Amino acid sequence: MKKINILLLLFVLISCGGNTDSKKNSFEYKKIEKKGINLDKKSKEAVIIINSSDLMKFDQNELIVFEGQKITLTLNHTGKMSKEIMGHNFVLLKKETDLNDFAQRAMLARENEYIPDGDETIAYTKMIGGGESDTITFSAPEKGSYTYICTFPGHYGLMKGILIVS
C-alpha cells in the first residue's frame, strides 16, 4: 500500500511540472476599443465603428462628437443573414425629422435601399448584409442631439440611437 501511495505521489509530481513555456499554452485577452470614438475636442476627425447583428441591434446607442469634426463612420454587419432578409444601414436624421413618418416612408422605398425621397437625412450608409461593412465620411452638424436609425422595414424600433454633437 505504501508503495502505491509513493508511486501515485511521484506520478502526480512528475505530471505537474516542467513546462516553462507559458506563452505557448496561455490565452491572452487584448482590449480593443470597439467604440472607436475620438473624444479629443482639438481633433479635427472622429472615427466611429458601429456593429450590427442578426439580433436587430446596434452595439452602441449613443455617440459623441464635436461640432465641425470630420466623422468617418464604419457600419459592420456581424451577422450571417443576407441584406434581403436582415439588412442594416445607418441613417443620421436632421433634428426636426418626424421619426415615425420617416420610418413609414422608408419602408416603401425598397428601390432606394429604404431611404425615402426628401431632405431629412444628414448622412447614411448603404444597406449591408451579414459579413459586410460600409464606411462613410461626413461633417458633424451643429451642436445638438440627432437620432440615427436602421431603415430596413421593422428595424427602427430597436435599431436607433443618438449622436450628440458638443
Return the pLDDT at 28.
Answer: 42
| pLDDT tens-digit readout, 38-73 | 566 678 999 999 999 999 999 999 999 999 999 999
Return the pLDDT at 5.
Answer: 63
pTM for this entry: 0.76
Return the pLDDT at 47.
Answer: 98
Domains of the chain, each with CATH number or no CATH: 45-165 (2.60.40.420)
Query: Of 92, 97, 111, 113, which Cα lies nearest the Cα of 163?
Result: 92
Sorted by sequence, the CB contacts under 8 Å of residue 159 that are 6+ apart come out as 52, 56, 57, 58, 88, 149, 150, 152
